[in-house]
Structure 1
Amino acid sequence: MSQNNLFSDFEAVSSKQWKQQIQFELKGADYNETLVWESPEGIKVKPFYHCDEFEPKIAAAPASHGFHITQNIFVHDVAKSNARALDTLQRGAEAIRFTIENEQVNIETLMAGLPLGTTPYFFYLPFLAIDFVNQLNQFAEKHQARFILQIDPIGQLGKDGNWFANLDQDFEHLNTLAHSTAVPFLTINSSLYQNAGANMIQQLAYTLAHANEYFNRIAVHKHPITVEVAVGSNYFFEIAKLRALRLLFQTLAKEYHHEHEIHIVATPSRRNKTLYDYNVNMLRTTTECMSAVLGGADFVANLPYDALYHKDNEFGDRIARNQLLILKHESYLDTVHNAAEGAYYIESLTEQMAEKALALFKDIEAHGGFITQLIEGTIQRKIAESAQKEQDAFDNGKEVLLGTNKYPNKNDRMKGDLELYPFVKQNPRKTLIVPIIEKRLAEKIEQERLASEE
């Protein structure tokens, strides 16, 4: 029997009929109070979505073209970093992201023997040095290498509390790079907002306002822009968040005649990761990477399950990479482009997020713009308020992290296994603004448990 004949055997069921049947099954309980719930972003979620209730109000979210499995490598010893990059590419990684903390790194040594023609290489630079960027640009042009630099002075201001130098000098350097380099050099660190506790509407609006500052101040017409996002465990909402991000960015970019699509680099959130029962982190990162892929991320860099408390190690990296290899080559998540398109629930979430984020973005612009609101402390205050609501939900058990505030294993011992300090670090110093502080939900519980370990 053909598929068309199979479906023709059944009469269409309208949304009204579904609601009537559900109302009957509820035996008098109120439909809206019982089955419709509201997210922290103010989005009402219905028990079902139907085609006769869905009329798209906005253009479809543009699709990505598959995702690259990305390996993060912190460059301390250049030769070891080079060897590690070679090894991870042989083991399934498709892109490398180097974090370079100073401009003394020798690029020729770092890139020796690495495939340069098609493999993308990111360079996350927590400093702004024109000479070093020019070195990277010259190497890329000489070897036809695919380099993408990640420089974000506004993100530096938000995270550190200070510019690299000052506002005028930082933007002067960025404009110099815009005219002198061919490699993409500008990034927007949106992950900062998620890891600090901003809700999804705030994340989208702040990212858009962050980008708008660059569009207003830098001639970036010929350069694609990278947006780094953190993905949490609210599976369908995170898919919709990434789709809304691409749609909103495209809408804003057109106003500045910027025709390049963004590079979305997605990494699992740290906010919901835990020190105790740490293997559960693998379950969390798996669904988060799935959301990233289905949401249209171009690059996905997984977070090792032990990243909170262990230094980089081969086992943690291998497990994290293998999670992505399974999603790509065994689950075929990259085979269908824009797989979420046409799912009424996800389309509805995408629309609502985009509309609410755009309204908040317009409000930010009407009150001086993103940098002004950072300097005034408005952005930090709004994020802190959102973070506290989420923290209260966690403390009250309404937001659950298995193995931490639900079904904890009292026999777990972690004090002797800490290679890294897993909590917010205190660093009193003079800053231009109050920095945006990234903090995990489980920190207070974990500190109390560590203190009580024998």
Structure 2
Amino acid sequence: MADSREKLFSDFSPVGTGQWMEKVTADLKGADFEKKLVWKTNEGFKVKPFYRMEDLEGLKTTDNLPGEFPYLRGTKKDNVWLVRQNILADCPKTANAKALDILNKGIDSLEFSIKGEDVSAEFIETLLNDICAECVELNFSTCQSNVVELAQLLVAYFGKKSYDVTKLHGSINYDYFNQMLTKGKEKGNLVQTAKDLIEATKSLPFYRVITVNALSLNNAGSYISQELGYALAWGNEYLNLLVEAGITATAGAKKIKFNFGISSNYFLEIAKFRAARMLWANIVSSYKPACTRECPNTAEDEECRCAAKMKVHAETSTFNLTLFDAHVNLLRTQTETMSAALAGVDSLTVTPFDKTYQTPDDFSERIARNQQLLLKEESNFDKVVDPAAGSYYIENLTTSIAQQAWNLFLKVEDEGGFYAAVKAGSVQADINETGKARHIAVSSRKEILLGTNQFPNFNEKAGDKRPVNNNCCNEGDSCECTVPVLNFSRAASEFEALRLQTEAASHRPKAFMLTIGNLSMRQARAQFACNFLGCAGYETIDNLGFETVEEGVEASMEAKADIVVLCSSDDEYAENAVPAFKAVNNRAMFIIAGAPACMDTLKAEGIENFIHVRANVLDTLKQYNAKLGIK
């Protein structure tokens, strides 16, 4: 069989890149290759339509092995990640009961959010009762002014229980800069608090207490390279401040943890996490962290390679979650989860699909857990380390993302570092500008949100559901921010506001498709128009076709249509548009589906409304709501 296989392949001569390009050029029939097939990413670099082995030449990423410096392929030699669920611990007894319950349902990492005033020994005792801290990763977040006290209480509790500290893994979420980015405030003494935290947890070698919450950038709509570039500057600022304060680079680096978001750009997200580990390892290495014990992971110059390991938690994004057709959120978060799992993160949280409009319930939390468990138990994603390695495409993406992020990192450093950038508001301005650009892309369908700006569920109603406001405060004079903040307006927010406006109106607009002429064109344009107008929550009525425009208009009036959409071919619009418009005679809004060559002529006849692929869907629908008296 082996000999037969070898003979089979020897029958085919190798095909070079030049030959592929000749074939592609011929198939393009004169169209520009760059414009037609080369994709320019939001990150600013170009992606080719195909890659070959020669595209790996010169890339050092292929020289790496899992668990080895600079950790591009992972900080460990397996792909086991922890399944995390967050618990709001308003009541310690209730939170404890919930934790014990979900620990039996596949969770092996918990995060407790505790109010500052609740931090006490009694609270911790009740919260962690019957939870084996050696068997589960425990993560905590609380008010910045109470993090040191929380750390001290946890150390005391673990000591009281006689736990083996080498088996205790977890984190305390202290992030001074995230408070500035999300709340617009500086609170406490950054360096002193960080030093006190490290001192308080020195007996817990695997507890990370300084956090880089780059997740906030992701949830504000950042591009992938921005999230990574700023995260590196963020972490470097902490490490630099700690070293200047007398903490060794080794101790400081081992206490820093990164929380990243995951967007829906599947392959770029895989590349992001691979690039992140590599870049952070090189940043830490530049501090020459000294190894303090005998360890097989020590470099020849006694440099501690363990300190260079990036500890990564990932969480699916909220920026692209939607209120309408909310179950589509499951599709988004599933692909995001797959990206992070394949990329080798240490732990992962899947955002419940209903978070946009309510506190997640038992059902949505269960589904979120199972999204990860399916990848582990049924798809075996935890069995293969860095399966993307060697992919011509992903290796090139990794290099490109790394370069873009590194350029941003250097820019921030040249301008005084991350703290100076946040204080000046340049980070916030950059991310908010990106968020604004993405909102525009969504409004014009250059970025698709299934169920929101494309293929909406026509018959769905929000009912009592209303979007949750995630911004730090309402705009106005009452804002107490001392520095600019990130804008967490979700990509779908403006479409949702428009659709809620329509739903609240006394009358739901009815759009009637006047289909006539060329069969394929009228069907295609009717479907396009239904989807277009359905994004505002209008009722749409499609039709098989009419013999004359008069017949179609009469049917639309019988249906009591508020909008009549003429759906036909461009050539037939020249003949049918004006008669149809006159037959409607202002009894309904008249729209043409398409942008025919005779558009200027039709406009001269008084026809104002055209919907087509180049139209801004959101702005157009806002205008239609205004014309229909919906406010």
Q: Quick check: 1:228 aligned with 2:248?
A: no
Q: CA contact under 8 A between 1:394 and 1:441: conserved in structure 2?
A: yes
User: Match of 2:381, SS?
Assistant: coil
Structure 1 runs of 4+ off > 6 angstroms? none
Q: 1:254 to 1:5 in 2, by over 3 A?
A: farther
* 2:574 counterpart residue number: none
CA displacement 1:210-263 (0-9 Å, x = unmatched): 011101111262234211111011110111111111111111111123533222
Tell me the equivalent position of 1:190. 214
Which has the higher mean CA deviation after the structures are superposed, 234-243 or 25-34?
25-34
Q: Does 1:339 align with 2:387?
A: yes
Name the CA distance, whole Å, in 2 between partners of 1:394 and 1:417.
22
Question: For 2:435 and 2:209, how far apart are their aligned partners in 1?
Answer: 31
1:262-314, CA deviations, whole angstroms, 9 ceiling, x for partnerless residues? Answer: 22111111111100000100000000000111122110110111111121311
Residue 161 of structure 1 corresponds to 184
Once the 2 structures are TM-superposed, how far is the Cα of residue 56 of structure 1 from its aligned partner?
Answer: 4.0
Q: For residues 121-270 of structure 1, what are the structure 2 equivalents within 5 Å?
A: 121-129=138-146, 130-141=148-159, 142-144=162-164, 145-165=168-188, 169-182=189-202, 183-218=207-242, 219=247, 221-222=250-251, 223-258=254-289, 259-260=306-307, 261-270=309-318
1:409 to 452, 457, 470: 457
| Structure 2 residue 64 is the aligned partner of structure 1 residue 40 | no
Structure 2 equivalent of residue 436 of structure 1: 486
Shift of 1:161: 0.9
Distance 1:257 1:136 in 2: 31
Of the candidates 101, 106, 119, which is equivalent to residue 115 of structure 2? 101
Distance 1:6 1:98, change over 3 A: farther
The worse-fitting range, judged by mean Cα deviation, of 206-215 and 250-259 is 250-259
Of 19, 25, 28, the match for 1:26: 28
**Deviation (angstroms), 1:128:** 3.4
Amino acid in the other structure paired with 1:204: L
| Structure 2 residue 111 is matched with structure 1 residue 72 | no
Task: Give the match's secondary structure for 2:332.
Answer: helix
1:357 maps to 405
* Cα distance in 2 for residues equivalent to 1:132 and 1:189: 19
Is the aligned partner of 1:380 residue 2:425?
no
| Structure with higher RCO (Cα < 8 A, 6+ apart) | 1
Shift of 1:33: 1.6
Q: Specify the code of the residue in structure 1 equivalent to 2:20.
A: W
CA distance in structure 2 between the partners assigned to 1:367 and 1:282 by the alignment = 41
Comparing 38-47 with 104-113, which one deviates more in the overlay?
104-113
Distance 1:394 1:349 in 2: 24
Decide whether the 8 Å contact of 1:159 with 1:436 is kept in 2. yes
* 8 Å Cα contact 1:415-1:450 kept in structure 2: no
1:224·1:263 contact (CA, 8 Å) conserved in 2?
A: no
How far residue 422 of structure 1 moved from its aligned partner, in angstroms, is: 4.7
Q: List runs of 5+ in structure 1 lacking aligned partners.
A: none
2:73 and 2:389 in contact (8 A); partners too: no
1:445 to 495, 501, 517: 495
Q: Which has the larger radius of gyration?
A: 2
CA distance in 2, matches of 1:150, 1:328: 27
Cross-structure match for 1:280: 328
Structure 2 CA distance, aligned partners of 1:49 and 1:301? 33
Q: CA 1:180 to 1:30, structure 2 compared with 1: closer, same or farther past 3 Å?
A: same
